[in-house]
Amino acid sequence: MEGSLASDADEPTRRDFLTLAGPAFFAVGGAMTVWPFVHQMNPDAGALALASVEVDLAPVEEGQAITIMWRGKPVFIRHRTKKEIDEARDVKLTNLPDPQSDTARTKAGHEKWLVLVGICTHLGCIPKGQSLGDVKGDYEGWFCPCHGSHYDNSGRIRKGPAPRNLEVPPYQFQSDTQIKIG
């Protein structure tokens, strides 16, 4: 008799099944109830379409800069001269508050194009330096008139309260004269 009691205790009972299945059904039902509310918070197709922008660089001549909007932010695109590229590469990284080489801020094979988010990293003002008549600061790049941050022609902070370099957005070249930002 003792042998049969031991084997009955090892067998699962209806109560064991209900103890495991009840919370599992509750969890699945809860997830199915919550999913539509979570899913509706995802961006719609129109918002996703704005997540990237294509820019034709063919009309931008050497030495010129353009500003486009991407995700509600200005993006500076500058067609740099050989002199500007050489000056940016000659800067010693030890002289920079936020050390980053010029080659790390551009795409290989397309170093003449500099693409930056045009928002000062101090308090979010838009630096001057895109137009021909703008003050470009002490380092011939960009100057933030709000609090006096100076950026060089690679968008690196050189002087002032800004803690970081101007941000480089995610971008890729579709061709030699076409880029996709985002």
Structural tokens at position 163: 């803690």
Q: If you search the block for the tokens 């002199």, which residue do you land on? A: 83
Residue 127, amino acid: P
- Give the span between the Cα atoms of 90 and 102, in whole angstroms: 9
- Give the span between the Cα atoms of 117 and 106, in whole angstroms: 13
What residues have CB less than 8 Å from 112, skipping those under 6 apart? 62, 79, 80, 81, 82, 85
Structural tokens at position 18: 């209900």
Strand order, beta sheet including 113-117: 65-70, 73-79, 113-117
Given 39, 79, 122, 147, which residue is catalytic?
147
Q: Confirm whether 147 is a catalytic residue.
A: yes
Is the sign of the CA dihedral 75, 80, 85, 88 positive or negative?
A: negative
Q: How many residues does the chain have?
A: 182
Structural tokens at position 88: 């940016």
Which residues participate in catalysis according to the annotation?
147
